Structure 1
Amino acid sequence: MQNTHMLFHSVHQLSRELSKHLNDALEPFGLYSSQWAVLFVLKQEGTLTQKELCEYLAVEAPPMTRTIQRLSRQGLVEQHQGADKRKKYIMLTEKAIGKFPEWEAVVMEANHTLLKSFGSQSQEELQALLTEWLGMIKQESRGKGRGKQQ
């Protein structure tokens, strides 16, 4: 593609529109897409350290700290210190576990609305492309990270 600026601009705009759409769907619950991402990962993966959440979601520590604090004030996550006092373990509360199916249903409906114009084959192709691209980006990032530590 000759103009990669347009490709990346389009991807960035798509990301913003997807977040906005998700924010609209989650608004009745007092949640934002960034909070949903944390809740979803904790539901899928279980208890994680704050650092693991940052790495998984590719979010810097300060915004993750703010998101976790908001979720904690809402009674949706709990923080526990590990034996190593520098590690904070984050987990869903019973309240969050109970409400999760309702949030997930709204998110799934929002996702379905956005994808309904794509056939299943197009969705599978898009998923494959995005998974491949994300994998390459993460692999490159890990390579750079190892270079810094040497």
Structure 2
Amino acid sequence: MYKNQSNFFHSINQFTRHFSKSLNEVLVPLGLYSAQWTIIYLLNTNGPSTQKDLSLYLGVEAPTMTRTLARLEKAGWISKLSGTDKREKKIFLTDLAHKQYEVWLEAVQACESNVLNNISEEERDLMQKIIERMNNNL
């Protein structure tokens, strides 16, 4: 067993908390939180989705996803439409969210660039591969 295994995972946990906080610092003035951004990013990248699929992909419990989606809907960033199964609704970004998306993306990318300062492309690629492999082990 890797002797610093607990420190390794503690570092990952600390990084994600600090990164989320940094992301909130740039997004909150734009009317959004980092947890909401992840949903908006997915909907923009992958297209409409169900609440269940979003929850599964992001590893978020259903009640938390319900609250986050309700806030996004109240803000006018998403809308829900019934699909073929009336019990399951597709979640879409609204025109308002599409218009605001580039502003959010620019803020997020500036935050990401700060975090990636002094980290080479090779190191980023290696880290991405490691994260993907770890995710596959979950």
Superposition TM-score, scaled by structure 2 size: 0.94
Percentage identity across paired residues of the two chains: 36
Superposition deviation, residue 82 in structure 1: 2.3
Question: Superposition RMSD on alpha carbons, in Å?
Answer: 1.1
Q: Name the residue aligned to 1:130.
A: 131
Rounded Cα–Cα distance in structure 1 between residues aligned with 2:4 and 2:109: 34
Q: Name the residue aligned to 2:33.
A: 32
SS in 1 for 2:81: strand
Rounded Cα–Cα distance in structure 2 between residues aligned with 1:80 and 1:64: 17
Superposition deviation, residue 28 in structure 1: 1.2
Superposition deviation, residue 122 in structure 1: 1.2
Give CA-to-partner distance per residue, 1:78-107, whole Å, 9 cap, x none. Answer: 011223232121100000011101110110
- Tell me, yes or no, if structure 1 residue 84 matches structure 2 residue 85: yes
Q: Name the residue aligned to 2:67.
A: 66
Superposition deviation, residue 133 in structure 1: 1.3
- Tell me, yes or no, if structure 1 residue 23 matches structure 2 residue 24: yes
Query: What letter is aligned with 2:30?
Result: F
Q: Of the two structures, which has the highest relative contact order with CA contacts closer than 8 Å and spacing of 6 or more?
A: 2
Give CA-to-partner distance per residue, 1:41-82, whole Å, 9 cap, x none. Answer: 000111101101111111110010011000001100001122
Rounded Cα–Cα distance in structure 2 between residues aligned with 1:84 and 1:121: 45
Alignment length, in residue pairs?
Answer: 137
Superposition deviation, residue 7 in structure 1: 1.7
SS in 1 for 2:118: coil
Superposition deviation, residue 4 in structure 1: 2.1
Query: What letter is aligned with 2:16?
Result: S
Give CA-to-partner distance per residue, 1:85-132, whole Å, 9 cap, x none. Answer: 321211000000111011101101110010012111111111111122
Structure 1, unpaired ranges of 5+:
138-150
Rounded Cα–Cα distance in structure 1 between residues aligned with 2:21 and 2:31: 14
